[in-house]
Amino acid sequence: MSTAMIYAEFAARECRDVSPAYESLSVAVSRDREMIARLDALPPAKRQPNLLFAAVRFLDGPVTDPRAFLDFTAERWPDVAAEMLARATQTNEVGRCALLLPVLAELPQPLALLEVGASAGLNLFPDRYAYQYGEVRLGHGEPLLDCALTGRRPPTRHPEVVWRAGLDLHPRDITDPADRRWLESLIWPEHDHRRERLRAAARIAAADPPLLVEGDLVDDLPALAERAPQDATLVVFHSSVLYQVPDARRKTFADLVRDLPGHWIAIENPTVFEYDNLPNPPDETLYNVLALDGRPLAWCRPHGQGMVWF
């Protein structure tokens, strides 16, 4: 897909009704030949809309007025490109815990959680967050994760987590001001609720830091999994990670994780794995697929704002 198409599609499928600012920036970029030429000079993995917009925000550039954004980006391109090359899309979206919870709550307890592509590890605390599924609230305090759930009953309990560990090529340290600033830059401009819940989750993680290991999801998974306690159910999970991993490597990862004891939860773009007989998604916007042990179960909105059980 051309870079212009990637931006046009991002506007239509991910930003419409979710972020008017990013929708208009994406459309403007898709129509600006010079901007597209600059992006095309970067490696393909570095051309993503989220990465460009976060880099500009990190540099305190304007992200609400498309003209001001294009001018800033043209003027400051060496700085913008340097940030894009040095950094990666590592959005740590705790809202995705609301997607994990219905599955985690039904597995044999207690759980040993191992997240691959964990970023700062904030999704390793699904047992400490509060949830709102329509009328039903589970837990109290902050962050409160709101998820429109259809097709099944909301979970009625938190999981019991006795071990938590994350693996990432570049683990982020939520207590480090620069890492924190990058994670906040990755949150879309209008999404104050996401910024607030990142901060609330950061307080929980900072008070009880999870084990975060720098490594690759294929090469370093077995050694980390071996450190999990034997008397808990090992759950390897990941969300919005495998789109960053080459196709052949995804297959190797899937074979590897299937051979581990315990369970495997994936929340990924439907193009990442070829599932048989997926029902049609609820509408034209982007949905990820939640799967347990390779069996697809639900369509999920990318930031955990809703899920439709099959």
Ligand X SMILES: C[S@@+](CC[C@H](N)C(=O)[O-])C[C@H]1O[C@@H](n2cnc3c(N)ncnc32)[C@H](O)[C@@H]1O
Q: Identify which range of 83-91, 97-105, 129-137, 173-181 contacts ligand X by CB under 6 A.
A: 83-91
Q: Closest separation between CB of residue 253 and ligand X, Å?
A: 8
306 is an interface residue for ligand X by CB under 6 A: no
Residue 218 to residue 212: CA distance in whole angstroms:
16
30 is an interface residue for ligand X by CB under 6 A: no
Q: Closest separation between CB of residue 243 and ligand X, Å?
A: 8
Smaller CB distance to ligand X: residue 73 or 90? Answer: 90
**Of 91, 16, 94, 17, residue with least CA distance to 53:** 91
**Of 213, 305, 224, 226, residue with least CA distance to 267:** 305
236 is an interface residue for ligand X by CB under 6 A: no
185 is an interface residue for ligand X by CB under 6 A: no
67-to-77, 84, 194, 266 alpha-carbon distances in Å: 15, 20, 26, 39
Alpha helices for the chain (secondary structure H): 3-9, 20-30, 33-40, 49-58, 66-75, 77-86, 97-104, 177-185, 192-207, 221-226, 247-258
Q: Identify which range of 9-17, 41-49, 111-119, 187-195 contacts ligand X by CB under 6 A.
A: 111-119
- Yes or no: say if 238 and 267 are a contact pair by the CB < 8 Å rule: yes
Q: Closest separation between CB of residue 197 and ligand X, Å?
A: 12
Q: How many chain residues bind ligand X (CB under 6 A)?
A: 23
Residue 59 to residue 310: CA distance in whole angstroms:
42
Cβ-proximal residue to ligand X, closest one: 117
Residue 95 to residue 303: CA distance in whole angstroms:
6
| Number of CB atoms found within 10 A of residue 307's CB | 24
Q: Closest separation between CB of residue 119 and ligand X, Å?
A: 4
Give the 3-state secondary structure percentages of the chain, helix then strand then coil, rounded to 5: 40, 20, 40
Q: Identify which range of 76-84, 161-169, 226-234, 268-276 contacts ligand X by CB under 6 A.
A: 161-169
90 is an interface residue for ligand X by CB under 6 A: yes
32 is an interface residue for ligand X by CB under 6 A: no
Smaller CB distance to ligand X: residue 62 or 305? Answer: 305
**Using CB under 6 A as the criterion, which residues of the chain lie in contact with ligand X when the complex forms?**
88-93, 96, 116-117, 119, 123, 167-170, 216-217, 238-241, 244-245
